[in-house]
């Protein structure tokens, strides 16, 4: 990933690069295990559902796509046997997204891959650095900041 020459140390670029590196490593690992490679949006949906973001409207908002687009993506992932839409027990008018029973094996393989990727990253940057990185990124960042351009 190229960085803007004058602003090579912007955090947003570093975080984006780290996310891309992790996701590319995950997709390559899953592909090597015989799974079909997912595009980044589908991968982010899988991660979001894993951490409990399970309403289509929330997924659309977090991924920066329209509700129509998220429903099309979810339909495709349902057709692929990865996800299912079920009634929300808290609001029967709404749906929630959850993993389908047929997604168990790919999720297990993804978890093993992520563990292996993190172990390799620890070898590359050092175990203490990886631990510190996770701790720093896990801190509460507070509400979204609004700063007008100068």
Domain 39-99 has CATH 1.10.10.10: yes
Q: What is the DSSP letter of 127?
A: H
The rounded percent of the chain whose pLDDT value lies above 70 is 95
Task: Provide the whole-model pTM.
Answer: 0.86
Q: Where are the domains of the chain?
A: 9-36+104-134, 39-99
Q: How confident is the model at residue 1 (pLDDT cuts 50, 70, 90)?
A: very low
How many whole angstroms separate alpha carbon 68 and alpha carbon 65?
Answer: 8
Secondary structure (H, E, C), 10-58: CHHHHHHHHHHHHHHHHHHHHHHCCCCCCCHHHHHHHHHHHCCCCCHHH
pLDDT of residue 137: 95
How many whole angstroms separate alpha carbon 88 and alpha carbon 93?
Answer: 7
What's the whole-number mean pLDDT along residues 132-147? Answer: 96
pLDDT tens figures, 21-54: 999 999 999 999 999 999 999 999 999 999 999 9
Q: Can you read off the two tokens belonging to residue 74?
A: 């979810």
- In sequence order, which residues have a C-beta less than 8 Å from that of residue 22 and are 6 or more positions away? 117
Q: Give SS3 for 112.
A: helix
pLDDT of residue 92: 85
pLDDT tens figures, 91-132: 988 999 999 999 999 999 999 999 999 999 999 999 999 999
Of 75 and 5, which is predicted with more confidence? 75
What's the whole-number mean pLDDT along residues 9-15? Answer: 91
How many whole angstroms separate alpha carbon 99 and alpha carbon 78?
Answer: 9
Q: Can you read off the two tokens belonging to residue 60?
A: 């659309």
What does R_g of the chain's alpha carbons equal in angstroms? 18
Nearest-CA neighbor of 47 among 13, 95, 82, 75? 82
pLDDT of residue 2: 52
pLDDT of residue 18: 96
Q: Can you read off the two tokens belonging to residue 85?
A: 């839409």
Nearest-CA neighbor of 109 among 51, 55, 61, 37? 37
Q: How confident is the model at residue 5 (pLDDT cuts 50, 70, 90)?
A: low
């Amino acid at each position: 990933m190229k960085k803007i020459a004058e602003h090579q140390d912007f955090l947003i670029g570093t975080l984006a690069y780290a996310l891309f590196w992790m996701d590319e490593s995950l997709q390559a690992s899953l592909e090597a295990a015989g799974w079909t490679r997912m595009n980044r949006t589908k991968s982010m949906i899988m991660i979001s559902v894993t951490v409990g973001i399970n309403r289509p409207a929330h997924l659309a908002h977090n991924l920066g796509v329209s509700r129509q687009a998220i429903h099309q993506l979810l339909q495709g992932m349902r057709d692929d046997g990865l996800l299912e839409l079920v009634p929300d027990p808290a609001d029967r008018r709404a749906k929630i997204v959850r993993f389908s029973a047929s997604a168990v094996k790919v999720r297990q393989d993804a978890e093993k891959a992520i563990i292996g990727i993190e172990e390799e990253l620890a070898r590359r940057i050092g175990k203490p650095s990886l631990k510190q990185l996770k701790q720093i990124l896990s801190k509460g960042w507070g509400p979204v900041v609004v700063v007008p351009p100068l």
